[in-house]
Amino acid sequence: MAFGPYLLLATLEGLVTAAVLSLTALGLSLVFGVMRIVNVAHGEFFMLGAVLAWFFSTLVTGHPALGFLLALVLSPLVVGAVALVSERLVLRRLDYNPEATIVATIGLLYIIQQIVLTVYGPEARPVVAPFDVRIALPWFGYSGYKLAVIAASVLVIAATWFLLTKTRIGLVMRATQYDRETAQNFGIPVDRVYAGVFALGAALAAIAAVLVVPIQQAHYLMGLDPLLLSFIVVIIGGLGSLRGTVVAALLIGLSDGIISVFFSPTLAKMIATLLVAMVLVFRPQGLFGTAAR
Amino acid sequence: MRKRPQFYRKGTGMIDATSNNRSNRNGLSRRTALKGIGAAAGLMAGPGFVRYAGAQTSAPIRIGFQAHRTGIGAAYGRWYERTTNAAVKAINAAGGINGRPLEIVVEDDGTDPKRGAEVVEKFANQHKVDLVFGTLFSHVVVGSAPTAGELKMPYYVVSEGYHVASGKLNRYVVQPGITDVRSQVTSMAPWVSSNLGRKATMIFPDYAFGHDHRDFFTAAMKAQGAEVIAQVAIPPTESSFTRYFPQIPRETEVLYHVMVGPAVLTFVKELGEFYGSNRPEIFGFIDSLEAVDMASPGLEFLEGTYFWEGMPRYLQADVGDAERAYRDAVGIDENGASKDDPQDVSTAAHMFGCWETLYVIKAAMEAVDYKGPQDRAKVIEATEAMTEFPAGLEHPQGRKIFNGKIHQCFGHQNISLVKDGRLEVIHRTAIEDGMYQPEADYTSMSF
């Protein structure tokens, strides 16, 4: 294949990775930024979203788009609810202590993973894409659905940005992120904000998973990769910075797509990890983060 | 304080303690023994045991089944288990082995080599089975074989890998029920090169199983005067494949694929999106789609492509009586799916190996009048002495030739065309097409 089309294919693949990754990482970044805790179970919320998407899509017969839309609505809601319950039952009782929450969310990771293995089983199950269009380019064909994933991801990110910067809820979240104690003094129910943010973060991961599941299939071990990549993105982009998260996801997604097409996927992972090391050494707060208070 | 010397002077103290325990245990076990004899007598009087009453001992022959119940082999494992159960039922209905009933003890190995070795150990020391059987995934076989050898436990695998025939394992590992990858690809190359194309590109998983395909198919094509022009190795954990497709050279005439694991469906779908209707000829091993419904969305693209099948998934027009009886016993419908659930598609191209292997074990045990674990080596020797398995109910896939020196059988292979969403067998190779020069001799090894 000639260089031009080859690069185009690599870029498209990279953009799909970046789209899914930025949604997943955005959820992690919100929790990281507002609550100042590390949620190791984030990848399992992603996996749970995918598995539930399979479940909801099998409930509906008829056009595959119906089942998919049902999954797109319900799956993030259920995952958000699971996150809300675990926040109330576990994280709040630990008083959001950073070390304790890491251990607690590791536990949560295993609990979710093993429950899914028991109930759903070890198979990888496909969800039918809502539409099946192959875009024929002169050099190769490309899945129309993958392009739709990019568009959907842009929409969700725009909605999250709107929520954070233009609404009262967003204002409250940003105030809590900026200074928890002052926010509390001004009558902001920090406790409820935390619960909401944790649920929202998990729901974003679930949306990403629903979008990806027609491409990748739901499997109980699928949460590990998104977790690692999300951490990489959040570290490079900077704590709690929406702009940083999106830029870093694009950077990682595109470099992963292009490097793995032209060289090897292993090299792409090595370079991403090297980038994290460089950022940690030279700009610990991340590319767009502000220094910790 | 008085007790202390007892603890310090281990000699008398310990003996006291144990003899006390022993007398207690004796008291208990006497009662339990009586109960047990009563229960056994009750069971013996039951109708199930009458059939075996004539045999010298009617204790069941116990075979440990190393099953992939979880992990990446789970879909295969489920059907290996169903086929095994069906074969056991058939064997027991016909009087068992030497008049003794056959019993299967299942342990899950998680499709993991380390766990596999532990399972073999558990079979030997805890379950005390007569032999172990049934493993598919090559890395689990390679991981478990040394343990089977150390414990002198016959290990009948149904794995396809060339590792048995290569001579790299040990005398206790036998593969009489399914052909190996080297034999399979060797018999495919003449047909592929003369019907589909002389310039092939291979896509395969980047570990032992894929490497067997790579090495032997490349060599077999060369022997036909054809050529493998590119080899695309894919890491086993990969979940997205589009990025590898540009490595397929434009002049490729035939694309050869063999993939396994949870992402196989993605692989075929992405290949379809990449090529559309303007594709090279495609020849794949059904491993890429075992347990996957051919009617899955995105697979329409495979229409008109070719697959290797060990045994046909779809009921063929010219099906024989033995094959039909086998399919009924296992419980698969004409589409190769479970009779109870048409979504539950079988691994028909491989699972017959469990059925055939159990019949080989039966024949070997009967040949040596198997009494117990002391006869394990004799069972291996009896298997090594076999040369041919005639087609029939015991070998529904077809006639096989067995080479005792390399512990490996040779048989017919099928090439199927995807037509109207079904696989139709269009060519059946001769057994000789898959023969190769043996490189080992297990019979010269000691037990």
Provide DSSP, B205-272.
Answer: ESSHHHHHHHHHHHHHHHHTT-EEEEEEEE-TT----GGGGGGS-TT-SEEEE---STTHHHHHHHHH
pLDDT of residue B37: 54
Lowest mean pLDDT among B54-68, B131-145, B334-348: B54-68
Show Cβ contacts of residue B3 under 8 Å, excluding neighbours closer than 6 positions: none
What six digits make up the tokens of B163? Answer: 């590792």
Largest Cα span, chain A: 63
DSSP annotation of B337? B
B261: closest chain A residue by CA: A124
Q: Would an 8 Å CB–CB cutoff place B71 in contact with chain A?
A: yes
A132–B250 C-beta distance less than 8 A: no
What value does the mean pLDDT take over residues A87-111? 92
Q: Write the secondary structure of A198-223 as one string of H (helix), E (strand) and C (coil).
A: HHHHHHHHHHHHHHHHHHHCECCCCC
B238: closest chain A residue by CA: A265
Q: Does residue B56 carry a pLDDT above 60?
A: no
Give the SS3 label for residue A162.
helix
Show Cβ contacts of residue A215 under 8 Å, excluding neighbours closer than 6 positions: A16, A129, A143, A145, A146, A149, B240, B266
What are the tens digits of pLDDT across the range B113-143?
999 999 999 999 999 999 999 999 988 999 9
Select the residue of B243, B296, B297 nearest A260 (Cβ to Cβ).
B243
Residue B370 near residue B174, CB atoms below 8 Å: no
The label of the residue with tokens 């090529």 reads B275
d(CA B189, CA A191): 68
Within 10 A of A193 (CB to CB), how many other CB atoms are there?
21
Q: Does residue B45 carry a pLDDT above 80?
A: no
pLDDT of residue B114: 93
What value does the mean pLDDT take over residues A137-153? 91
Q: Which chain A residues contact residue B260 at CB under 8 A?
A: none
B296–A136 C-beta distance less than 8 A: no
Choices 3.40.1160.10, 3.40.50.2300, 3.40.50.920, 3.70.10.10: CATH for B182-309+414-428 = 3.40.50.2300
Beta bridge partners of B105: B64
DSSP annotation of B125? I
B263–A6 C-beta distance less than 8 A: no
What value does the mean pLDDT take over residues A175-182? 87
What are the tens digits of pLDDT across the range B280-315?
999 999 988 888 888 877 788 889 999 999 999 999
d(CA B311, CA B303): 20
Q: Would an 8 Å CB–CB cutoff place B295 in contact with chain A?
A: no
The two domains B61-179+351-410 and B182-309+414-428 share their CATH topology (first three levels equal): yes
DSSP annotation of B445? S
Q: At what angle do helices A42-59 and A3-30 cross, to 10 degrees?
A: 100
Dihedral angle at the C-alpha atoms of B45, B46, B48, B53, nearest 10 degrees?
A: 10
d(CA B133, CA B380): 13
Provide DSSP, A55-109.
Answer: HHHHH--SSHHHHHHHHHHHHHHHHHHHHHHHIIIIIGGGTT-HHHHHHHHHHHH
Choices 3.40.50.2020, 2.30.40.10, 3.40.50.2300, 3.30.470.10: CATH for B61-179+351-410 = 3.40.50.2300
Q: Does residue B6 carry a pLDDT above 70?
A: no
What are the domain boundaries of chain B? Answer: 3-45, 61-179+351-410, 182-309+414-428
Give the SS3 label for residue B439.
coil
B243–A13 C-beta distance less than 8 A: yes
What are the tens digits of pLDDT across the range A22-65?
999 999 999 988 888 889 999 999 999 999 999 999 898 888 88
Query: Which of these, A217, A141, A260, lies nearest to B243 by C-alpha position?
Result: A260
Rounded to a whole number of angstroms, the CA Rg of chain A reads: 19
Select the residue of B239, B250, B265 nearest A126 (Cβ to Cβ).
B265
Dihedral angle at the C-alpha atoms of A100, A105, A111, A112, nearest 10 degrees?
A: 160
Within 10 A of B3 (CB to CB), how many other CB atoms are there?
8
Strand positions, DSSP E, B286-347: 306-309
Letter for the amino acid at B296?
Answer: S
Distance from the Cα of A231 to chain B's closest Cα (Å) equals 20
Beta bridge partners of B233: B204
pLDDT of residue A69: 93
DSSP annotation of B345? B
Q: Which chain A residues contact residue B343 at CB under 8 A?
A: none
Average pLDDT score, chain B: 87
Letter for the amino acid at A233?
Answer: V
Please, which pLDDT band fits residue A140 given cuts at 50, 70 and 90?
A: confident
d(CA B118, CA B137): 16
Q: Which chain A residues contact residue B276 at CB under 8 A?
A: 134, 136, 141
Query: Which of these, A6, A8, A20, A70, lies nearest to A246 by C-alpha position?
Result: A20
pLDDT of residue A139: 84
Long-range contacts of B149-154 (CB under 8 A, 24+ apart): B149/B173, B151/B120, B151/B121, B151/B124, B151/B125, B152/B376, B152/B377, B152/B447, B153/B120, B153/B123, B153/B124, B153/B376, B154/B376, B154/B379, B154/B380
d(CA B297, CA B421): 11
What six digits make up the tokens of B175? Answer: 């593969």
Q: How large a percentage of chain A has pLDDT more than 70?
A: 98
Letter for the amino acid at B253?
Answer: E
A217–B246 C-beta distance less than 8 A: no
d(CA B93, CA B159): 27
d(CA B115, CA B110): 7
- Cα B85 to chain centroid distance, Å, stands at 14
Residue length, chain B? Answer: 447
- Cα B393 to chain centroid distance, Å, stands at 18
Q: Which chain B residues contact residue A124 at CB under 8 A?
A: 262-263, 265
Please, which pLDDT band fits residue B174 given cuts at 50, 70 and 90?
A: very high
Query: Which of these, B269, B304, B303, lies nearest to B288 by C-alpha position?
Result: B269
B235–A134 C-beta distance less than 8 A: no
B243–A257 C-beta distance less than 8 A: yes
- What is the value of ipTM here, to two decimals? 0.77
d(CA A80, CA A84): 6
Beta bridge partners of B423: B418
Q: What angle do CA B387, B390, B393 make, to 5 degrees?
A: 135
DSSP annotation of B431? G
Phi, psi of B167 (to 5 degrees): 85, 5
Portion 106-165 of A in contact with B at CB < 8 A: 117, 121-124, 126, 128-129, 132, 134, 136, 140-143
Dihedral angle at the C-alpha atoms of A193, A195, A197, A199, nearest 10 degrees?
A: -150
Rounded to a whole number of angstroms, the CA Rg of chain B reads: 25
Q: Does residue A239 carry a pLDDT above 90?
A: no
H-helix segments, A97-241: 98-119, 144-166, 168-178, 180-185, 190-216, 224-237
